[in-house]
Chain A
Amino acid sequence: MTLTIENLRIAAAGAVLVRDVSLTLEPYRTVTILGETGSGKTLVAEAAMGTVAPELAVSGRIADGGEISDAADQGARRGAWGRRIAMLPQEPWVSLDPTMRSLAQVAEGHRFVRGLGPGPARRQARADLASLNLAAGDDRYPHQLSGGMAQRVAFASARAGGAPITLADEPTKGLDATMRDAVVALLRKAVEEGGSLLCITHDIAVAKALGGEIIVMLKGEIVERGDADTVLVAPSHPYTRRLVAAAPENWPTATATATASVPGDVVLEGTELAVSRNGRRLFSDLDLAVRAGEWIGVTGPSGCGKTTLGNVLLGLMPPASGRVRRRAGVASTRFQKLYQDPVATFSRHVSLRTALAETTARHRVSFDDVMTLLERLRVPVALLDRRPDQVSGGELQRVSLARVLVAKPIFLFADEPTSRLDPITQQETMDVMREVTRERGCGTLLVTHDRTMAERITERRITLGSDLA
């Protein structure tokens, strides 16, 4: 079955969000749409499913199999759900019904969409789960599944209706490398079995692993398209070139740039640290000294205690055993933390200027210091009068970095500070963070699930999670 989108256009009052997008997806083929937040790539997927917000005007034609429909008639797309197009949920854990066992959630596709009887539907669901090495998960509830298992249950239930076309919008968002590879393997399996895949992502590594046709979108338009081997290896459009260069594997390595700066004195030291959660030992016997100006990477799978380590070092929680020594005679406010989700760390109701003014008042520094920092971090001054939800994620993360730097930290714990940003913004943010922290002799512990990125920008790395079976 072939999915065709012709001349898709989506507009809001006064702005065109998607312009002139056409694509054809054939069996055994993959099309990946690459682009940053706001490029309109998710809207294309929503148009294919007929779930574009009703206040937006949609036009164009969408066809799958023999069914051709006007893209404006979104209700007409409902017949495709589960039958012709399977939509993978972004966050499988919350997309599964918490009160229903895995097997039943897969079986309902076979039963209600394909019309099998209850018995055969369950047998088929059991076979689906077994083929994903999940037989043991049959009678478990979602809260008993690991992230990876939930991912596979969601995959099996989305496809149980027998849809040949799979649609995946950011299927690897926030996943560590191991989980990401597992998801990519699932998607490839769907294609190898004769299906076709439309994948939307900003992760170059995922696009590369999936292969097929790449469509690069920028500000609602397609700026480049072609075979993955061509587009990702020899991009022609300047934006694509920046996008590919921004993939962590293409960053210059830290050792090359870091030889110039010699790490300074120890600012913080942990000896024989051990951390437990719910009675389970996450890691033990960890020795770590952070020196002024150096960057240390902390990597490891989800739940291995990366964030907990930072909280222990900052003194926000006690270790299960071992001790933490922070440099004597230094105010505790000079040990700072940069959070993963900047939006959550700002009050939604006040302007950024007010938020920053409160911080400078608290640390008794002049507001000019912040202005200097913001300039250094390339944050336009005009943004200060907006509220946190009115600026982009990358801008807000740089504002929160400025806010943290006001306290003149000698140690910074950066907890996945760029994981929600698209690659170009991620690289820009990381670059400027590194420059400023080095300049100011701030020792930085960077938590990331992206091992490649850690290898590129940190001098040393700690891997947690080896204690976990």
Chain B
Amino acid sequence: MGRLVAILGQRLVQAVTVAFVVSLLCFALAQLLPGDQALQIAQRRYGDDRVTTAAAEAVRAELGLERPLALQLIDWMGRTVSGDLGRSLVSGAPVWEEIRDQLGATLALAGAALGLALLLGPVFGALAGLRPGGLADRAGMAAAAAFRAVPNFVVGLLLMVGCTVLFGWLPVGDSRGWLSLLLPALTLGLGLAATSARIARDGVVAALRSPFFAFARMKGLSRAEAILRHVPRNAAVPLIAYLAVSFAFLIEGVVVVEEIFAWPGIGHALTHAIEGRDVPMIQGTALMLSLLLVLLNALTDLALLLVDPRRRA
């Protein structure tokens, strides 16, 4: 129980620190982007051909972009602490409202990808690990290496091409409900499944070679009984620890995959906010993605606590 509170406390401190650093970085990077910020925003608002210097100046005055940078930053931070993410410089709508729906779409995508990875990875990993050096092991690990090596935008494009050729249908956007979720989720999940298969395989092999497995057999348990009782938990420990690390990969992948499949999520929004120099939107989306990462890490901490009694001490 004390351990639980300690872990959650640590993660809370981490969340606050991450939020602070991320917003600082986003702000700094937005300033470093080439081009005049007010002009870029005006272009977004009024269209490329109708934008004038006067319009840009109006935008600058309206948004207070002529103020010193430090002042703009402090202003933003003060509002963020009170729960106000500000308004989009482009649409004028509150950032939170803009992000809210996109966050849902991203969570659906990330959740589906994680679900697929957890369904495929450990199953194939365990099959490979039960007979080290066997056919399933060699084929499975070769496939895992291939999927891990290929970047997910390539996987995404290949899946798209395949889908178009086979079904004459190009799955972009969320026009077809869960079906259109499948391809981006696969794209995002396959890489994760590949590495978790590898970790699960090694975990199973380690458990099978452990003295406690040998002892379980000596006690008289059949191989199947000993596997069922002593392998899953022990193999799960490294797998969960690995997942904690790989969530960064997942979040990073979300941005790429959403862009490829035009998935209306937060990653997609982030790319557009950057193009439009929409600093509050950049900060808001990046903040949400980082907090999502901290949340996922807190969840894996809890899962590890559940599986591995040694961590509860």
Contacts and interface: CB of A to CB of B under 8 A. Distances in A.
A161 interface: yes
Contact of B221 (A86, A99, A108): A108
A7 B9 CA distance: 66
Contact of A99 (B214, B220, B307): B307
Interface stretch (B74-82, B228-236, B275-283): B228-236
B218 A87 contact: yes
A158 B310 CA distance: 23
A95 B309 CA distance: 16
B11 interface: no
B6 interface: no
Interface string A151-175: 0001001101101000000000000
A154 B230 CA distance: 15
Contacts of A94: 210-212
A108 B219 contact: yes
A83 to B, nearest CB: 5
Given A82-B221, A141-B310, A161-B220, A99 B233 contact: yes
Interface string B174-190: 00000000000000000
B228 to A, nearest CB: 10
Contacts of B234: 97-99
Given A94-B211, A144-B313, A89 B308 contact: no
B18 to A, nearest CB: 31
Interface string B207-223: 00011101111111110
Nearest to B308: A99
B101 interface: no
B225 interface: yes
Contact of B310 (A81, A89, A96, A143): A143
Contacts of A130: none
B237 interface: yes
Interface in A122-155: 141, 143-144, 154
Contact of B212 (A49, A86, A87, A96): A96
Contact of A141 (B211, B222, B309): B309
A98 B309 contact: yes
Interface in A92-123: 94-101, 108-109, 112-113
A325 B212 CA distance: 46
Interface in B27-71: none
Interface string B301-313: 0000001111001
Contacts of A269: none
Interface residues on B, range: 20 to 34
B233 to A, nearest CB: 4
A91 interface: yes
Nearest to B311: A143
B237 A99 contact: yes
Contacts of B237: 99
Contacts of A101: 309
Determine chain B's interface SS by DSSP, over half rule.
Answer: helix
A98 B214 CA distance: 14
A112 B309 contact: no
Contacts, number: 78
A95 B221 CA distance: 14
B76 to A, nearest CB: 45
Interface residues on A, range: 20 to 34
A143 B216 CA distance: 18
A359 B313 CA distance: 43
Contacts of A141: 309-310
Contacts of B307: 99
Contacts of A91: 211
Contacts of B210: 94
A98 B313 contact: no
A161 B212 contact: no
Interface string B140-170: 0000000000000000000000000000000
Given A97-B230, A98-B212, A99-B233, A143 B221 contact: no
A82 to B, nearest CB: 2
Contact of A81 (B218, B229, B230, B309): B218
Contact of B211 (A83, A89, A100, A112): A89
Contacts of A87: 218
A157 B308 CA distance: 21
Contact of A158 (B219, B229, B230, B233): B219
A96 B225 CA distance: 16
Nearest to B218: A87
Contact of B218 (A100, A108, A143, A158): A158
Contacts of A109: 219-221
Given A89-B211, A91-B211, A108-B229, A98 B219 contact: no
Nearest to A83: B220
A86 B219 CA distance: 7
A338 B15 CA distance: 49
A113 B220 contact: yes
Contacts of B214: 95
Given A99-B309, A154-B215, A158-B215, 13 more contacts: A82-B218, A82-B220, A86-B219, A94-B210, A95-B211, A97-B216, A97-B234, A98-B234, A98-B308, A100-B229, A108-B229, A109-B220, A109-B221
24 contacts: A49-B218, A81-B220, A82-B219, A86-B218, A89-B211, A89-B218, A94-B211, A95-B212, A97-B212, A97-B234, A98-B212, A99-B233, A99-B234, A99-B307, A99-B309, A108-B216, A108-B225, A112-B221, A141-B309, A141-B310, A143-B313, A157-B215, A157-B219, A158-B219
Interface of A: 49, 81-83, 86-87, 89, 91, 94-101, 108-109, 112-113, 141, 143-144, 154, 157-158, 160-161, 163
Closest 3 CB pairs of A and B: A82-B220, A113-B220, A95-B215
